[in-house]
Amino acid sequence: MKILISALLVFILVQSTIIFAQKPSRTAPKITSPVSKFDPDKTDESKPEDSANDFAASGLPAPEDFGGAPNDALAAALAKRLTDYDEDNLPLLITTLQRAGFFIINENQKVLYQPTTGSGMGIAFYDFEVAGMLKLSRRGFVSSVEQLSTQIGKDTPEIPPSQVASLMMRDLRTSANSSNKLVRFWARLIVELGKNSQQSVDLLSTNSATVPLSVIQTSLWERRLIGDVIAFAQNASAKNRFDQKRDDRLNLVKANYFSPPPCQTNDIESLVMDASSLGITTAHGQFLEKIAETLSTKGSETLGKIGFRLGLVNIALSWAKLVAAMMTLKGEMKIEDPMPLERTKNSVEGQSREMTARVWAEVGNLQFLNCVRLALNTASGLDFSMPSDGPLAGRDIAWELTDDASFSGQGSSKTGKFDNFVNLKAPEGAKRNPLEQITDDNGESKMNLVGAPKIPAVINKPVVPVRKKAGIKIAVAFKSSRDTAQNFIDIGGAALGIATGGPIAILGIIPELGFRMKWDIRKLTVPVKDWELCTEDWAGTIEYKRTFSQSTVVKTVSRKGTRTVNELTEITWNLNPRRRDMPFDTPPIPADVTVRVKNSDIFEGTGEADVCCSDQASKDSGARIREAITLNVDKSGKSPIKVDLSDNFLLSLSPDLSNYELFKGTKRRSFTVSESACPVDEDQTAESTTEEFANMIITPLSRTKTMRRLLKTGESVEEIWGTESFDDPLGGKIVYKWTISRCGDL
């Protein structure tokens, strides 16, 4: 039967692939008016993709399509990626929690994302907790089993903190070998996160309860423990006794942090989404057995006290995660005019421009946070203080060249030499190393961008101007260089109001090495005018971008739902003109080209996943399914592009992309059943990864207007620049952009 079910899953996936391979109907091509004029000397300021930092404004992003059925290998793979805190991993964390069997709900307890295996563990995280646990973990905040057990067992001498810690560690090791796949995956995930942490530790082999746990690990452990205690309290005899002894301070804030006051607290049991699933996925059997031993002598007293202390731990963690989620780190970068920055033609430094960066922390919805704080103080008897926003003063800040101006981008990967066209130079009085700057009281830092010396020099030689872009990014540390003690938990300048030595000391500061890590805040792209020896070949940069987006309603015999297609292709050619010292019969040199493709084709809805179901009514109702097909390409190589400028100065660009390898990428297909009246398989997931080529049909640019000017730099120089946008025959939007030049008898 198992083999039959697996075969049916493969059949379903193949049939789904056939359906998804059919292209959606697209609009007829439409030629738009050309927009040939643009400013090639304009600076551009941007921020890195960071959905966790943007949570207060944008909410949770969509989960990432990664992994299949929960198993040991998937736990290891997810943990390895999650602990790479340089990446925007909030979508992956959402997926991880789904794979581990958790619901994710919003402030109104509406389910945003559900487990990928039926009802999962039956317990939920709030959306703010998901964003908050990631932000706290990557900024170096930790807890430990010792800190958790100290709080949980504080009022129960019959189960003292040391015994609570021992039982928790033993239960984790038992769960890591559980026959229940979700329980095993939950435990293995916590273990693998420890192995991949900065202070790597194997929780399956250590007996120490003091080893640091990231806030992600702590949240996973604490939430499962809460679920187990609730399930224990809800059984036939324990629930009534538990309710009689339960204190109101067990309540958890309802997290209506986008709703107006008055704020109210909500029972901790509101996190339970499915009581039956909660009971069959118990992960703390030995701890619960110890509590059960006290029922005959203590009645519900021990259970009530442990439940109360768990409630306090949950409140403290929730407040920390709420403030972290609502805190947005912001920055801005400016550079003095005029632009572009011009590089010298000889072996001395070129022009210099002063840059200024300002970084600050901004707390969203302070009125509501204060309302929540007061409600928590009343519910818990603790005293939480308000976070504060403002400039990040006295912080370590790093200035770094990036993109084409980086070490690899400026030629080292091709020539083995640092062919830099710009340099960073610290202002007088500051540390010389741009990576070791400190913000002032206003959260500001200054740095000079300088044109690099031209070696070999091209002075008194015919040269052509070549437009380049210098990327400069800033990254900031979250611990103040001026406050070496910093005994409060600080998120980018905002004190959480939970002292590490306070009444609920569950979080601490990671050792100095980790806590000094810096995080990218802002990026500035500066136009630079470089000089190259003049030839009749075109020099400069040509960019191509194609986007397509379409959402359609699917109503077929086998499927009902929504299909969303998004396609992005970006190609950049850096032209390589022949030099005058080359033989006259030297053939044209192909351009250096980069190709990036990011396509997705996602169906969400109901389908005939239950082909083995014997009950017709259940079969007719179908199953909730999600199929995601993604294709990603990121390649560099050589490829020519033909540039033709007609006698009446109309530009045509004809890419030659016969180098197929530039378009080879990774195609991933995942098929997940999240709800089913009669599941075809307990895994309910199938996936595949293959190599595949992206669409190589690139629409050329034909006879378009362009900006043009003639210069005199030893001989006649022709420089053209512009942009053009139009719709392609498949309904995509195409944008070309060019800044190129040449010299000769013009």
List, for residues 652-692, the tens digit of each pLDDT value: 999 988 888 999 999 988 887 766 665 544 455 677 889 99
Helices 145-152 and 161-175, packing angle to 10 deg: 130
Dig out the tokens for 342 from the structure: 């011009």
Other beta carbons within 10 Å of 174: 16
Q: What is the dihedral of CA 284, 286, 287, 292, to 10 degrees?
A: 120
CB-based contact 186:283 (threshold 8 Å): yes
Distance set, CA 709 to CA 526, 530, 541, 717, 739 (Å): 22, 17, 17, 8, 12
Other beta carbons within 10 Å of 389: 17
CB-based contact 332:358 (threshold 8 Å): yes
- In this prediction, residue 425 has a pLDDT band, given cuts at 50, 70 and 90, of very high
Task: Say what percent of the chain tops pLDDT 90.
Answer: 41
Closest among 679, 726, 717 to 699, alpha carbons compared: 726
Q: Judge whether residue 281 has pLDDT over 70.
A: yes
- Of the segments 90-104, 275-289, 477-491, 681-695, which one has the largest average pLDDT value? 90-104
679: helix, coil or strand? coil
pLDDT recorded at residue 159: 94
SS3 sequence of 490-509: EECCEEEEEECCCCCCCCEE
pLDDT recorded at residue 702: 93
Token look-up 């939920």 returns 124
CB-based contact 309:154 (threshold 8 Å): yes
User: Computed from CA positions of residues 276, 165, 169, 220, in that sequence, does the dihedral angle turn out positive or negative?
Assistant: positive
Mean per-residue pLDDT for 415-432?
A: 80
Read off φ and ψ for residue 72, nearest 5 degrees: -60, -40
pLDDT recorded at residue 672: 75
Q: Which residues contact 259 (CB under 8 A, 6 or more apart)?
A: 107, 368
DSSP label at residue 272: B
Residue 288 parent element (H or E)? helix 285-298
Token look-up 């025959």 returns 729
Q: What is the Cα–Cα distance from 602 to 329, expressed in whole angstroms?
A: 32
Closest among 736, 714, 345 to 541, alpha carbons compared: 736
Q: What is the pLDDT of residues 196-242, one digit of tens each?
A: 988 899 999 998 999 999 999 999 999 999 999 888 887 745 445 44
Any bridge partners for residue 355, and if so which?
335, 447
Closest among 244, 229, 415, 241 to 306, alpha carbons compared: 229
- What is the distance between the terminal CA atoms of the chain, rounded to a whole angstrom? 78
CB-based contact 71:181 (threshold 8 Å): yes
Residue type, position 699, single letter: T
Any bridge partners for residue 111, and if so which?
105
* Secondary structure tally for the chain: helices H, strands E: 17, 33
315: helix, coil or strand? helix
Task: Say what percent of the chain tops pLDDT 70.
Answer: 77
Q: To 5 degrees, how large is the angle CA 654–CA 656–CA 660? A: 150
- Of the segments 187-191, 374-378, 604-608, which one has the largest average pLDDT value? 187-191
Q: Judge whether residue 641 has pLDDT over 60.
A: yes
Q: Judge whether residue 484 has pLDDT over 50.
A: no
Mean per-residue pLDDT for 3-11?
A: 33
DSSP label at residue 557: S
Residue type, position 519, single letter: W
Q: Judge whether residue 645 has pLDDT over 80.
A: yes
Query: If you average pLDDT over every residue of the chain, what do you get?
Result: 79
Any bridge partners for residue 401, and if so which?
472
Instruction: Flag the least confident range among 128-132, 244-248, 573-577.
Output: 244-248
Q: How far is CA 711 from the centre of its chain?
A: 46
Read off φ and ψ for residue 56, nearest 5 degrees: -60, -35
pLDDT recorded at residue 538: 93
Dig out the tokens for 581 from the structure: 């010292």
Mean per-residue pLDDT for 609-620?
A: 52
pLDDT recorded at residue 92: 94
- In this prediction, residue 599 has a pLDDT band, given cuts at 50, 70 and 90, of very high
pLDDT recorded at residue 366: 75
DSSP label at residue 84: -
CB-based contact 539:575 (threshold 8 Å): yes
pLDDT recorded at residue 456: 82
pLDDT recorded at residue 134: 94
Any bridge partners for residue 388, and if so which?
none
Closest among 740, 583, 601 to 669, alpha carbons compared: 601
Distance set, CA 123 to CA 224, 305, 313 (Å): 8, 22, 17
Query: Strand 102-105 relative to strand 123-126: parallel, antiparallel, unpaired?
Result: parallel
Closest among 684, 687, 686 to 676, alpha carbons compared: 684
Q: What is the Cα–Cα distance from 678 to 81, expressed in whole angstroms?
A: 34
Mean per-residue pLDDT for 549-553?
A: 94
Closest among 583, 735, 543, 575 to 639, alpha carbons compared: 575
pLDDT recorded at residue 157: 92
Q: What is the Cα–Cα distance from 644 to 433, expressed in whole angstroms?
A: 46
DSSP label at residue 453: P
Closest among 737, 565, 542, 579 to 657, alpha carbons compared: 542
Distance set, CA 126 to CA 98, 119, 215, 271 (Å): 13, 16, 15, 8
- In this prediction, residue 33 has a pLDDT band, given cuts at 50, 70 and 90, of very low
- In this prediction, residue 162 has a pLDDT band, given cuts at 50, 70 and 90, of very high
- In this prediction, residue 172 has a pLDDT band, given cuts at 50, 70 and 90, of very high
Helices 127-138 and 90-99, packing angle to 10 deg: 120
Q: Judge whether residue 8 has pLDDT over 90.
A: no
Other beta carbons within 10 Å of 116: 25
Q: Judge whether residue 97 has pLDDT over 50.
A: yes
CB-based contact 734:712 (threshold 8 Å): no
Q: What is the Cα–Cα distance from 710 to 720, expressed in whole angstroms?
A: 9
- In this prediction, residue 267 has a pLDDT band, given cuts at 50, 70 and 90, of low
Query: Strand 650-655 relative to strand 141-143: parallel, antiparallel, unpaired?
Result: unpaired
Q: Which residues contact 99 (CB under 8 A, 6 or more apart)?
A: 67, 70, 74, 78, 115, 116, 117, 185
Q: What is the DSSP string of 673-733?
A: EEEESS-S-SS-EEEEEEEEEPP---PPEEEEE-EEEEEESSSEEEEEEEEEEEE-TTS-E
Other beta carbons within 10 Å of 365: 15
Please give the residue that has the higher pLDDT: either 498 or 533: 533
Q: Judge whether residue 35 has pLDDT over 80.
A: no
Dig out the tokens for 700 from the structure: 């050329």
